[in-house]
């Protein structure tokens, strides 16, 4: 059986010592998991190693861990694969990697306090935030005599966010939360969508308004895709946050104090008019939209615009913005010829339909093989496996 090296971040608070790294060698089939490796360490080498786990089958969500820097479930990460990933730098011939074997690095989840070794305290940055989004149904009127009845198809949409197993991997990976610990975060916002998208809930608008107005709400997400990579269940929390934004602005016309709606509306309108982005206009319109916004700007708009003046002045000085088209909002050129009219046509068509294709639900369509080719469909044409069967990516 192959031997692997696990480099584990240890922390034993009762010792009074700071955290440290410790390497362990384990013998394991490559198909087994990093969790199996950790349990082998605990059983055979060091009974003091603290690991949290239960089902070992990516169902309970207990073993959230960082493996080679990636937040994930230890039970869903094959040790052979983790070993390959650890060695990618040396395999790619990057200097400083010394060409030798690199250990598999195992750390506790980030963005939360460590209790001991690989066990984190999820209360403050996970559970408290989940409670923050009112994670229960608030229907209107008297409850029905028996269960609430809804057409099954109206619930398909929330199945993706329902798949969450509360492991905290997305919270651990969140780069916004790293900069702003108050950010409500990917897990809780995905949970919020679970109720916003539920046809039985009667507080949709109130939920959205609350999350849009919160400075640490839906507009605090930097769109970095980390949570999508971390999630072992394909919940794609960031996608759910973008849907919350879409529904808040488009369906409920919610204008927030964080410039979220104004920024999106200004951006969309500029491309409709100009085809490419007029950055000066975007900046101006994101803070103070239209004539009314400029005649009676809010305190936030004034602060935002004044705050961006030093940056603009520096830009003019270096030549970055030394032209009228860049400095004066609205002077930016349209696309050449009739191209802008065609962009306009694209807008008309798309605004009329507003279709949303969610590949988690729709899947990728199977493509029939070319008639003159014997080989089967190409790999990318394969149908997405069921969410529960999706392997570590």
Give the pair of three-digit tokens for residue 93: 């011939």
- Single residue of 16, 18, 144, 379 touching other proteins by CB under 8 A: 379
Residue 373's alpha-carbon distances to 245, 365, 369, 380, 382, in angstroms, are 45, 19, 7, 16, 17
Binding status of residue 183 toward other proteins by CB under 8 A:
yes
Q: Which is closer to other proteins, CB of 40 or CB of 111?
A: 111
Rounded to whole angstroms, how far apart are CA atoms 335 and 325?
A: 14
Query: Cβ 200 to other proteins, closest distance in Å?
Result: 25
Tokens of 10: 């240890």
Give, in order, the Cα–Cα distances in Å from 383 to each of 232, 355, 379, 387, 392.
Answer: 19, 21, 9, 11, 17
Find the shortest distance in angstroms from Cβ 298 to other proteins: 14
Span near other proteins by CB under 8 A; candidates 158-166, 186-194, 198-206, 332-340:
332-340
Kindly indicate which of the ranges 7-15, 106-114, 178-186, 203-211 contains the residues binding other proteins, using the contact rule CB under 8 A.
178-186
Q: From the CB of residue 158, how many other CB atoms can be counted at a distance below 10 Å?
A: 18
Phi, psi (deg, nearest 5) at residue 19: -65, 155
**E strands, the chain, where?**
3-10, 20-27, 64-67, 70-73, 104-107, 114-116, 119-120
- Is residue 376 part of the contact set for other proteins (CB under 8 A)? no
**CA-to-CA distance for 116 and 298, rounded, in angstroms?**
48
User: Is residue 168 within 8 Å of 120, Cβ to Cβ?
Assistant: yes
What tokens appear for 108 in the block?
């506790």
Q: Let me know: does 48 contact 39? Beta carbons within 8 Å.
A: no
Q: Is residue 88 at the binding interface for other proteins, with CB under 8 A as the rule?
A: yes
Selected binder of other proteins within 87, 258, 288, 289 (CB under 8 A) = 258
* Count of all residues that appear for the chain in the document: 393
Rule CB under 8 A: is residue 304 a binding residue for other proteins?
A: yes
Question: How big is the site for other proteins, counted in residues (CB under 8 A)?
Answer: 87
Residue 18 CB, nearest approach to other proteins (Å): 18
Q: What is the torsional sign of CA 241, 247, 249, 250?
A: positive
Of the pair 95, 292, the CB lying nearest other proteins is at 95
Q: Tell me: does residue 380 bind other proteins (CB under 8 A).
A: yes
Sketch the per residue contact string, 212 through 251, with other proteins: x for CB under 8 A, - otherwise. ---xx--xxxxxxxx-xx------x-----x--xx--xx-
Site for other proteins in 260-299 (CB under 8 A): 260, 263-265, 267-268, 271, 275-279, 283, 286-287
Residues 146 to 175 in contact with other proteins, rule: CB under 8 A = 175
Task: Give 168 or 304: the residue with its C-beta nearer to other proteins.
Answer: 304
- Based on the shown chain and the rule CB under 8 A, indicate whether residue 306 belongs to the binding site for other proteins: no
DSSP string, 340-351: HHHHHHHHHHHH
Q: Which is nearer to other proteins, 25 or 88 (CB)?
A: 88
Q: Does residue 253 belong to the site contacting other proteins (CB under 8 A)? A: no
Judged by CB under 8 A, does residue 80 bind other proteins?
Answer: no
Q: How far is the CB of 54 from other proteins (least distance, A)?
A: 26
Note whether 371 binds other proteins by CB under 8 A: no
């Amino acid at each position: 059986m192959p031997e692997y090296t696990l480099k584990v971040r240890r922390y034993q608070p009762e010792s009074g010592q700071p955290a440290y790294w410790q390497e362990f060698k384990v013998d394991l089939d490559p198909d087994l998991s990093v969790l199996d490796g950790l349990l082998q360490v605990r059983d055979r080498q060091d009974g003091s190693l603290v690991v949290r786990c239960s089902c070992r089958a990516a169902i309970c969500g207990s073993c959230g861990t960082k493996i080679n820097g990636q937040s994930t479930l230890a039970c869903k990460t094959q040790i052979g694969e983790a070993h390959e990933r650890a060695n990618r730098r040396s395999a790619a011939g990057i200097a400083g990697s010394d060409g030798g074997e690199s250990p598999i690095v195992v750390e506790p989840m980030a963005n939360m306090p460590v209790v001991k070794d690989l066990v984190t305290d999820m209360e403050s940055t996970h559970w408290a935030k989940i409670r923050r989004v009112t994670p229960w149904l608030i229907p209107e009127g008297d409850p029905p005599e028996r269960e609430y009845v809804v057409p099954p198809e109206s619930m398909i949409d929330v199945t993706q966010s329902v798949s969450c197993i509360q492991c905290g991997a997305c919270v651990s990976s969140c780069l916004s939360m790293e900069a702003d610990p108050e950010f409500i975060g990917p897990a809780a916002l995905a949970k919020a969508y679970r109720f916003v998208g539920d046809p039985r809930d009667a507080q949709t608008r109130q939920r959205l308004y609350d999350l849009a107005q919160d400075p640490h709400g839906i507009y605090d997400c930097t769109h970095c895709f980390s949570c999508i990579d971390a999630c072992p269940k394909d919940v794609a929390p960031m996608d759910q946050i973008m849907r919350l934004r879409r529904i808040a602005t488009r369906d409920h016309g919610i204008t927030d104090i964080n410039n979220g709606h104004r920024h999106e509306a200004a951006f969309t309108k500029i491309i409709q008019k100009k085809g490419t982005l007029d950055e000066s206009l975007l900046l101006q319109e994101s803070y103070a939209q239209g004539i009314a916004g400029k005649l009676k700007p809010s305190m936030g708009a004034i602060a935002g615009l004044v705050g961006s003046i030093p940056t603009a002045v520096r830009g003019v000085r270096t030549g970055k913005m030394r032209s009228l088209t860049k400095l004066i909002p609205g002077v930016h050129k349209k696309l050449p010829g009739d191209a802008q009219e065609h962009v306009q046509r694209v807008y008309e068509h798309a605004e009329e339909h507003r279709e949303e294709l969610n590949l988690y639900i729709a899947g990728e369509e199977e493509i029939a093989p070319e008639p003159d080719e014997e080989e089967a469909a190409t790999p990318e044409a394969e149908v997405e496996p069921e969410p529960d069967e999706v392997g570590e990516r």
